[in-house]
């Protein structure tokens, strides 16, 4: 099993450009999450999907959109990148029930917006 995979691993964008971060899991998990991690800020939830066909906003959703393409895949889109979106982005997945089950994290995407 590959677990949670993310592409790309590194990306540099110019202000105003758009891009999509891809995430896929092969553990048959229902729930998937997108986090951003900034130095000294810990993990902040951007969006999550409790199950296929549903998405909900997290703490910091502004400037992002998501698509739960199917049970395996959950993508994060930046429509018009800003320097404030420079961060490390982690995708994670878990069985149903965010409180009761461990989250498995992907390796992360390191995004720089200039």
- Residues forming the site for other proteins (CB under 8 A): 40-45, 48, 56, 58-59, 90, 98-108
Residue 45 Cβ vs other proteins, minimum distance, rounded to whole Å: 5
**Residues 6+ positions from 10 with CB-CB distance below 8 Å:** 109, 110, 111
Residue number, 48 or 74, with CB nearest to other proteins: 48
Residue 80 Cβ vs other proteins, minimum distance, rounded to whole Å: 26
CB atoms within 10 A of CB 44: 14
Residue 92 Cβ vs other proteins, minimum distance, rounded to whole Å: 8
Residue number, 42 or 53, with CB nearest to other proteins: 42
């Amino acid at each position: 099993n590959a677990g949670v995979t993310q592409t790309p691993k590194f990306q540099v964008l110019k202000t105003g450009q758009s891009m999509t971060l891809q995430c896929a899991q092969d553990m048959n998990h229902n729930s998937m999450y997108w986090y951003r991690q900034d130095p000294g800020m810990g993990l902040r939830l951007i969006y999550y999907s409790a199950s296929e066909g549903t998405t909900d906003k997290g703490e910091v959703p502004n400037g992002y959109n998501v698509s739960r393409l199917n049970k395996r895949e959950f993508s994060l889109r930046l429509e018009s990148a800003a320097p404030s979106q420079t961060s490390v982005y982690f995708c994670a997945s878990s069985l149903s029930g965010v409180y009761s089950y461990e989250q498995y994290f992907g390796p992360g995407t390191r995004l720089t917006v200039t």
